[in-house]
Structure 1
Amino acid sequence: MKALTWHDRRDVRVETVPDPVVRDPDDVVVRVTSSGLCGSDLHLYEVLGPFLDPGDILGHEPMGIVEDTGPGVTAVRTGDRVVIPFNVSCGTCHTCGRGLHSQCETTQVREYGSGAALFGYTKLYGQVPGGQAELLRVPFGNNLPIKVPHGPEDDRYVFLSDVLPTAWQAVEYAAVPEGGSLVVLGLGPIGDMSCRIALHRGAGRVIGVDLVPERLERAAGRGVHVLDLGEHGKDLPDVIRDLTGGRGPDAVVDAVGMEAHGSPAAGLAARATGLLPSALAARLMEHVGVDRLHALHLAIDIVRRGGTISLSGVYGGQTDPLPLLTMFDKQIQLRMGQANVHRWAGEILPLLTDDDPLGVDTFATHHVPLTEAPAAYEMFQKKQDGAVKVLFKP
């Protein structure tokens, strides 16, 4: 089959690799019909090379048609249409039973002290072959795949693999009161969808912050009050406070994280680790702060006293400093973590209808053949051509 494989920093290739097969009784093999390009994939493209091996298959946002099943699979059958959550979760352990599928005790990567394994996402998360490929082996076939109806285009459902539950959890964790205010930092796929979900769930005012004109325009078209960070600069906190009664917003969603989209810090870290032997580079990435924390510090500054910060952006360093005195003094609540896809799927699925309240049917900005994936990574990393969400079609 054809699959997108990692080879080095900013070097991903479409290659022919062996087809996956059923190995365990509850495995299924899915023929992928769509697979998303995620902002988190850019961390692999830029800074997480020490935890990848050449030939690793990327991608964690797939959906498709069940092509084969193991003898123990009863929940799905050949021909079913399914979305595959990015968490590799068993669905039956203690943490899965508590709705914490991203912490699945069956697939936790204890070697690195990490939570549940993820599709297509480095040794830190199990080095499980990903879904930017023609075929995907999926374990836990009775609990992991999410069956969806045949008929509508993939765009209706594919975002259930990551974007929708990640944004839903970000808003849930933000705990915006009815009619309250929310600031979303970063209007990439997760930030954009977080704005839509917050408005759908009753937020009174949603303010979106970004630097990219196309992203600002796109969010404004959905009723978001947008602010251009480049225009307001250091005055941005005061502008936000003026828009929120002088106190600051009730909650902030940081949808930026490590800023792998070409940030100086991420680029420096990537170049530094690239000069080191892989074992030393891995230790550097694990134990040294490599993040640019502007977005998180901004969130701490602008949120009202007693407010909530919901962190959905991924940070990578272990020694990143936080202003704990300020956080304590302002009585800030901070919630974070990988999205627990199955925890939220039941609440999201009823919204994936012809009425399309969240605009999923038109959410993708680019549909790209898998053969053009390397160029799409470069385009997305450089924020070119208005790219917000890219879907690959194998």
Structure 2
Amino acid sequence: MRALTWHGEKDVRVSEVPRPEIVEPTDAIVEITATAICGSDLHLYNDRMPGMREGDVLGHEPMGEVVETGDQVENLEVGDRVVVPFTISCGSCWFCEEELYSLCDNSNPNAEMARKMMGQSPAGLFGYSHLLGGYAGGQAEFLRVPYADVGPIKIESDIPDEQVLFLSDVFPTGYMAAENADIEPEDTVAVWGCGPVGQFAVQSAQMMGANQVIAIDRVPERLEMAGEHGDAETINYEHADVYDQLMSMTGGRGPDRCIDAVGTEAHGTGLDGVSDRVKEGAKLQDDRPYVLREAIKCCRKGGTLSVPGVYLGRANVPFGPLMNKALTVKTGQTHMQRYLDPLLGKIEEGEIDPSFIISHQVGLEDGPEMYQTFNDKEDDCIKVVMTP
């Protein structure tokens, strides 16, 4: 079958790889009808994620049709149309029973590798390095889905793929980011990063009753989307000092809730941004936490900082201001299975149409070119959907 495979920094190729087969009786095989490139895939594209191996199949935002099931799969049948969440969760460990699905104890076969780096292992993820399981991803014609009774959600209406595909990651991720921010009525919420996760964080903050949502980015079309679809006020950080602007917009108090939807590859400005790149080049830190530092500085005293942006290792974070301002911080990969049913309901009821983020629809063979376009933020590229 054809798949997008990783071969090093900025080297993604369309390759012929073996079609997946049932390995465990709890597996299913899904024929992919739509799959997307995620912003966190760019961390792999830029060779920032440890544990990648040449030829790894990429992708963690797929959906399609079930074509085969293992003997112990009870909830799915051949012919079912499903969205596959990016987290792989067993459904029976302590963490899954607590609905902390992205922390599953049993789905990462390389858990010892993750423990050495993190202390404990999170769940396995599709297409996201051998550190997190070495599972083949969904930017391919077919996908093996472990624990198939736990992950995929069936789509039983004729709603188009484009409207439900983002249940695989970015819609629930943006929603959980807003939920983690503990938004209350009359709150001001600032969202750094207007990529797909940031867009859904903006919309989710509005759903949760925020009085004012402020979106921060440097890409005009992303800021325009946040304003048009998310009713957000916007700050272009290349044209204004973010701290000064936020203080002005909040009467000097600062935003009540801050969401870092950028993560490890933040584009900092001024000496702080230069310092991050120097430390990164000298191997003194793995991440560029410019946004994280700025959000800590800007958030009001006693406020909440939510971090859906992916971080990969060591980072220089100002813990003193964090502690002295009594900030609450909530982070984590998304506990996907907790959100699939309620967010599908919001789509079916017309409360949101997630397809608004799509800027490019192409075939799988165009994947390598679209990785480069998305990475370079060219051609107004915000979200790429591919049809194998």
Relative to the length of structure 1, the TM-score reads 0.91
2:87 corresponding residue in structure 1: 87
Contact kept, 8 Å, 1:14 with 1:371, in 2: the verdict is: yes
Partners of 2:316 and 2:311 lie apart in 1 by 12
- Once the two structures are superposed, what CA deviation does each residue of 1:141-193 show, in whole Å capped at 9, x if it has no partner? 22111111241211111111101111111000001111211000010010011
CA shift, 1:112, in A, is: 1.8
Equivalent of 2:236, from 228, 240, 245? 228
Q: What's the counterpart of residue 301 of structure 2?
A: 305
Q: Distance in 2 between matches of 1:9 and 1:138?
A: 27
Q: What is the CA-CA distance between 1:299 and the residue it aligns to?
A: 0.2
Partner Cα separation in structure 1 for residue 363 and residue 152 of structure 2: 24
Q: Which of the residues 162, 170, 174 maps onto 1:163?
A: 170
Change beyond 3 A, Cα 1:49–1:196: closer
1:51 is paired with a residue whose SS is coil
Which residue is equivalent to 1:295?
291
- Aligned position for 2:329: 334
Return the alpha-carbon distance in structure 1 between the equivalents of residues 80 and 280 of structure 2.
41
Pair 1:105 & 2:108 matched: no
* CA deviation string 1:311-353 (max 9, x = no partner): 01111222x2221111111100011010010112232121012
Q: In structure 2, how many angstroms separate the alpha carbons of the residues matched to 1:38 and 1:266?
A: 24
Work out the CA distance in 2 between the residues paired with 1:388 and 1:20: 30
SS of residue paired to 2:339:
helix
Question: Unaligned stretches of 5+ in structure 1?
Answer: 273-283
Deviation at 1:261, TM superposition (A): 7.8
Check 1:212–1:6 CA distance in 2 against 1; reply closer, same or farther (3 A cut): same
Kindly provide the amino acid, as one letter, of the partner of residue 296 in structure 2. Answer: I
Partners in 2 of 1:57 and 1:195 — Cα distance?
Answer: 31
**Cα offset for 1:270?**
8.9
Q: Counterparts of 1:344 and 1:56 in 2: how far apart (Å)? A: 28
**Aligned residue runs from structure 1 range 142-181, under 5 A:** 142-181=149-188
SS at match of 2:362: strand
Q: Is the 8 A contact 1:215 1:388 kept in 2?
A: yes
Matches within 5 A, 1:1-394: 1-48=1-48, 50-108=50-108, 109-113=111-115, 114-222=121-229, 223-232=231-240, 235-259=241-265, 288-318=284-314, 320-353=315-348, 355=350, 357-394=351-388
Amino acid at match of 2:43: H
Contact 2:266/2:288 (8 A) holds in 1: no
The aligned length equals 376
Secondary structure of the structure 2 residue equivalent to 1:230: coil
| Deviation by residue 1:42-75 (Cα, 9 ceiling, x = unmatched) | 0001133652111100000100000111111110
CA contact (8 A) 2:7 2:13 kept: yes
Determine if contact 1:91/1:97 at 8 Å carries over to the other structure. yes
Query: 1:266 & 1:32 partners in 2: Cα distance?
Result: 39
CA–CA separation in structure 1 for the residues paired with 2:377 and 2:207: 27
* TM superposition shift of 1:268: 7.7
Going from structure 1 to structure 2, the CA distance change for 1:145 and 1:269 (only over 3 Å counts) comes to: farther
CA shift, 1:264, in A, is 7.7
On the 8 A contact 1:42/1:260 being kept in 2, the answer is no
Shift of 1:358: 2.6
- What secondary structure is seen at the aligned counterpart in 2 of 1:159? helix
Instruction: Tell me which amino acid in the other structure corresponds to 2:287.
Output: D
Query: What is the DSSP-based 3-state SS (H/G/I as helix, E as strand, rest coil) of the residue aligned with 1:378?
Result: helix
> Do 2:261 and 2:308's aligned partners in 1 also have CA atoms closer than 8 Å?
yes
**Which has the higher mean CA deviation after the structures are superposed, 45-54 or 299-308?**
45-54
Mapped to 1, the partners of 2:296 and 2:125 lie a distance apart of 29
Deviation digits for residues 334-381 of structure 1, max 9, x if unmatched?
1101001011223212101262x3331332111111000000000000
Equivalent-residue separation in structure 2 for 1:143 and 1:55 (angstroms): 28
Once residues 295 and 180 of structure 1 are traced to their aligned partners in structure 2, the CA distance between those partners, rounded to angstroms, is 20
Cα displacement string for residues 89-142 of structure 1 (whole angstroms, at most 9, x for unaligned residues): 111211011111110011242322231010000111011000000000001122
- CA contact 1:265–1:292 (8 Å) conserved in 2: no
Q: Any gaps of 5 or more consecutive residues in structure 2?
A: 116-120
Q: TM-score under structure 2 normalisation? A: 0.93
The runs of at least 4 aligned residues of structure 1 exceeding 6 Å deviation read: 260-272
For residue 384 of structure 1, report the CA deviation from its aligned partner.
0.8
Name the Cα RMSD after superposition.
2.0
Tell me the CA shift for residue 41 of structure 1: 0.3
Sequence identity, in percent? 40
Structure 2 equivalent of residue 279 of structure 1: none
